[in-house]
Amino acid sequence: MTAFAPSTAFNWDSSYQPFMPLDQIRALFERGTKVCMAIGGWGDTSGFSAGAVDEESRKRYAKNVAEAVDRLGYDCVDVDWEYPGGNGQDYGQIPNEQKVSEIETYPLLLTEIKAAIGRHELSIAVPGREADMIAFTAEQVPKIDKTVDFINVMTYDLMNRRDNATNHHTSVEGSLQTVDNYIQRGMSPSKMNLGFAFYAKYFTTKDGVQCLEPTGCPTAVLESADGSDTHLSGAVTFEIDNYNSNAAFANALKNGRQDSARGGQWFWDGSTEIYWTWDTPDLIARKFKEIVSARKLGGVMAWSLAQDSHDWSHSKAVQAGVKEL
């Protein structure tokens, strides 16, 4: 997938162009690899909200998406709306109460897009945290499931800066709970792709607290009341530069501990009062066995491929898991 086309690019007639011509992108991969246009991403919701609002806006949005797919030569479309119904980056400025209508208009927008793009596949990215599944109710999920070809489940960022106690951001236990939440609401396992994160996350813990357990340690205030970042948390990818330049990250990786019960890797740095959480190749293997195979999921996905450039160990673990399915 090429990330990201702005969500606002399709509200009106658009001349959207990706960051690189598709023929150049295709040349980087094996013949037959599908290239999809991902729309939106974290913090980009306004175009979706406007596009979904009524029948006229939905048809216009879908027509413009289809035009871009045909003009540029994409094979598929991914709608990454984070999130319909609220709890997105802008929740402090636009409260969820103002987005209630999106619970019903979201499936309608997807239906229009699928109808417009025809033979091309339509996928969606869906939240991992149950609190963010506002639009994914037992009533709406069957409508969504019927429309889309596959569903990329973001089983990561399960802890974020809105939390006040430490937790694994992408554990086996947490990922399985996410998958089960969707299945219970009517999502087809065969359409679901389990998500893997090629990055670690870190969170500052409450001053003076000893964090000796894998989860449940009080954090500092990680987000302001208006939703803005207090800059006491963040993410570090598994790219080679981060191994060479980030001593705290390297220290966490070296001294990390596995929470076997929950299936998460963690480290608390007492000198900096920072909690780290990430996935390992061993835990990826567990997820294939305990989630992908056990729940008969359709496949897997990761965010994102280039973020594993240190030694590609996470990518290799995913490849190994796929081969064993």
Q: Which DSSP helix (H) or strand (E) runs through 104?
A: helix 102-117
The pLDDT of residue 272 is: 98
Report, as an integer, the average pLDDT of 186-192.
99
**Residue 137 DSSP class:** -
- For residue 289, the SS3 value is helix
Per-residue buried b or exposed e for 47-72, using 16+ beta carbons within 10 Å of the residue's own CB: bbbbbbbeeebbbbbbbbbbbbbeeb
**pLDDT tens-place string over residues 220-262:** 999 998 999 999 999 999 999 999 999 999 999 999 999 999 9
CA 271 to chain centre: 31
On the question of pLDDT at 16 being above 90, the answer is yes
On the question of pLDDT at 13 being above 90, the answer is no
CA 64 to chain centre: 25
The DSSP bridge pattern shows strands 299-303 and 274-278 to be unpaired
User: Distance (Å, rounded) from C-alpha 217 to C-alpha 183?
Assistant: 30
Give the rounded percent of residues in the chain with a pLDDT score beyond 90: 98
23 Ramachandran zone, left/alpha/beta (phi>0; psi -120 to 50)? alpha
**pLDDT tens-place string over residues 259-302:** 999 999 999 999 999 999 999 999 999 999 999 999 999 999 99
What the chain holds in terms of domains, given with CATH numbers, is 2-196+280-323 (3.20.20.80)
**pLDDT tens-place string over residues 297-323:** 999 999 999 999 999 999 999 999 999
Give the rounded percent of residues in the chain with a pLDDT score beyond 70: 100
In this structure, what token pair is assigned to residue 15?
């001349």
> pTM for the whole thing?
0.97
